[in-house]
Amino acid sequence: MEMIRYGFILLIICFFASLTLSATYKVTHTRIEAQAVTEEKESLDEVFPEASNFKDATLDDKNYYIAEKDNKDVGYIIKAEAKGYGGPISMLVGFDFNGEIKGIKILSHSETPGLGAKINEVRSGENVPWFLKQFEGKGVQNLELGDKPENIQAITAATISSTAVVDGVKKEVIEFLSRVKS
């Protein structure tokens, strides 16, 4: 009988804990989503620095931005996702109409701290993650990991994370450009 009583008490505690968690989620969910959108919009200048304005647009139910300079369209910014070692890597990618990368910003990832998380590491004296800086000015068709100067240098001991970013950017940009041009 004592076991049933303890089981019932545990059931009541779990019920109220679940109820509290659910209520907290309902209250904070919209704020968290709004903050993520605000953070994304604040990142647009970093991803496409030469643009002076950004317009919201939609293609096949997927949101993206059109980068403008002097009231003229100069490129796009899309949200791309790739599967890294620790889970999804979400990023913004800015590129011109020919697929030349203007900038990349990691929005979220769950890569291993000290290894895969170096995709977002800013070295001392710099203000942009060194790994992502390598993409700037490169054509998306030619993005490859490797030791040649024209290639992207992988992060030591984080090849899966490096490959995920390169492949994710390449796949998403090529796919987007093929859809937007058709």
Report the distance separating Cα 79 and Cα 65, nearest Å: 9
Report the distance separating Cα 90 and Cα 40, nearest Å: 11
- Give residue 33's pLDDT: 84
Reported as a single tens digit per residue, the pLDDT across 115-161 is: 778 888 888 888 888 899 999 999 988 888 887 778 888 888 788 88
Print burial letters for 14-29: b (CB count within 10 Å at least 16), e (below 16): eeeeeeeeeeeeeeee
The pTM for the full model equals 0.79
- Give residue 125's pLDDT: 87
Q: What is the mean pLDDT of the chain?
A: 89
pLDDT bin (cut points 50, 70, 90) of residue 94 is very high
Reported as a single tens digit per residue, the pLDDT across 51-72 is: 999 999 998 888 999 999 999 9
